[in-house]
Amino acid sequence: MNSFRKIAVSFGIFAALAACDAAAYPDKPVHYYIGFAAGGESDIAARFQQQVFRRKYSHEMLIEYKPGAGGGLAWAQLNGMPADGYTIMGVNLPTIVLQPMEGEVQYKTEDIVPVYWFHYTPDAIVVAADSPYKTFPDLVKAAKEKPGTLSFAGSGTNSANHLAHEKLDVLAGIKTIYAPFKGTGDLTSSVLGQHVTGAVSSITLAIQLRGKARALAVATEKRHPQLPDVPTFKELGFNWVGGAYRGVAVPKSTPPAIRKEVSEMIEALNKDPELRKQMEDGGFVVVDISLDGMSAFMQQQSKEYIEIARRMGLLK
C-alpha cells in the first residue's frame, strides 16, 4: 500500500511540475526577427512590445534585423529557424500575399504561419498644406475632369501603398498615376513640393508632417484621435478600412500547442494599456486577431488583395 502511495505522490509531483512548466512560457529570452532595417514602423512596434515583455515576463525580447527584399529575405529564412516558440518574426500584410505573386522571393504565402496580427497603419490620402485640393471630394472631382493627370506618390511597387492606390482608383471611379519611391522619407519632399498631387500613404505620415501637409481621408472605422478633423473614407461613402497590417509568425514546423502559446503571449502584450496608448499616439490602429480567428481573416484579406493584384498586373 505504501508503495502505491509513493507512486501516486510521485506521479502527482510530476504532473504538478509538468503543469508548472507548461504555464511558464516564456521562461527565457525570445528572439524577435524583423525583416527591415532599424527605425521603421515594424521596429517601432517591436520596441513597444519589448518594453512590455520585459516588464511582464522578466526576460528579454531580443530584436534582431534581417533587412532585404522588402522583408522577403527574412521571410524566406523563417522556416529554417527553431520551432520552439522562442523564435518569432514580424510579418506584414499585404506584402506576404503580394510578394510571392511577383515571383522574385524564395517563399510562398502558404509557407508563412502568422499567429497574431496586432495593429495596422491606416491608409490615408495626404497632400501638401498649400495644395489646391482642400477636401477629398475636391480631389476626386479634379481626377474625373482630368483622367490620368493626377499623380500619387507611394512607398514601393507592389506594396501596401501601391495596392491602396489601385483601391483608390477603383472605389472613387477615377484614373490616376502611381509614382513609386524607395520609402516614405524619399517621397516626402515630392509631396511637400507638389511635384506629385499627393501621396497614398498612411496616417503616420500625416502626423509626422502635421502643419506641412494634411490628410484628406483615412481608412479607419472612426476618426483617429490624432487627426480628429479628418473624415474617414466610410464617412465619405467608400467602404475602405485597413492598411498595412503587422503581426507575428512562427516557423511552419511549430507544433499547434506552441503556436497557441506564442499567440497568447503576443495577445497579452497587445492588451497592455500603455502599449495600446503608444500605438494609438503613433498613428496605428490596434487590432487583436489571434490564432483562433486567423484562417478567416487571412482568407478575407487575401481575397481582396488578389482582386486588386489583377489590376496591378500581378495576376493574369
- Give 37-75 as a DSSP string: -TTSHHHHHHHHHHHHHHHHHSS-EEEEE---GGGHHHH
Q: What is the mean pLDDT of the chain?
A: 91
Q: Each residue of 5-54: pLDDT tens digit? A: 444 434 444 444 444 445 589 999 999 999 998 888 899 999 999 999 99
Instruction: Tell me the pLDDT tens digit for each residue of 116-143.
Output: 999 999 999 999 999 999 999 999 999 9
- Higher-pLDDT residue of 4 and 257 is 257
Instruction: Write down the domain spans for the chain.
Output: 30-120+245-312, 129-218
Cβ(25)–Cβ(54) below 8 Å? no
Residue type, 179: A
**String of DSSP letters for 95-152:** HHHHHHHHT-SS--GGG-EEEEEEEEEEEEEEEETT-S--SHHHHHHHHHHSTTT-EE
Fold of 129-218: D-Maltodextrin-Binding Protein; domain 2 (3.40.190)
Homologous superfamily in CATH for domain 30-120+245-312? Bordetella uptake gene, domain 1 (3.40.190.150)
- pTM for the complete prediction? 0.84
210 has a pLDDT exceeding 80: yes
For the ranges 95-104, 121-130, 171-180, 222-231, which has the lowest average pLDDT? 95-104
